[in-house]
Amino acid sequence: MLQQLYKNLRHPRQAAMFRFLKIGNNILYGFFLSLLSAVFFSPQIVSTIVKTTKGLSFIFIPLTFIFYYIMLCAAAFFFVTVLALAVLPVKTVLRRRLNYLQLWSLTVNAITWPTLLFACINLFKELPAWSIWLYILACYLMAANLVSAIPKPRGKTAVRPGRTRPSG
């Protein structure tokens, strides 16, 4: 997973190769990415809980974090599924041969940069509500970029008239 994170951050176009991994690896990567995001987003949540619950915060902080992580994972996987559907026309326009499972895997890897970038920014400054649209746009562009990184399928080689294929 760390190697997958490193490749996604360092060489995003080479991350298109992760579409060949088993789906379980990409699902696990999605959980890992959600955990990183939860850790970056959680300081605001923890401080809010500490302010509101005071004495019971030691009980509620871990429970709230776990509940927050579960909800974040559900939202992330729903978002990846919808984003993969939105990228289907890009695949068609660029004439890339991908099935939905590969497209879904590409999309999980495509959200790495936007997710970590927005999570880190949120650590220092609270993001406005409209920034979700920037996040969606950035994820869509990264997914389209990964689809374009996939080589076009080779065409069938036509045999010229009067020539035969070598037998062998």
**Interval 5-27: pLDDT, tens:** 777 677 767 777 777 678 888 88
C-beta separation of 65 from 45 below 8 A: yes
pTM (whole model) above 0.85 = no
- Quick one: pLDDT band at residue 89, thresholds 50, 70, 90? very high
Residue for token digits 């559900």?
Answer: 74
- Whether 136 shows a pLDDT value over 60: the answer reads yes
pLDDT at 139: 94
- Please give the residue that has the higher pLDDT: either 82 or 159: 82
C-beta separation of 110 from 142 below 8 A: yes
- Whether 41 shows a pLDDT value over 70: the answer reads yes
Give the Cβ contact number of residue 69 at 10 Å: 18
Mind listing the pLDDT tens digit for each residue in 90-122?
A: 988 988 888 888 899 889 988 988 988 888 888
pLDDT at 7: 74
Round to the nearest angstrom and report the end-to-end CA distance of the chain. 44
C-beta separation of 112 from 120 below 8 A: no
- Residue of 142, 112, 113, 123 lying closest to 30 (CA atoms): 112
Average pLDDT over every residue of 137-165: 76
pLDDT at 73: 93
Give the Cβ contact number of residue 40 at 10 Å: 17
Q: For residue 114, how far is the Cα from the chain centroid? A: 8
pLDDT at 38: 84
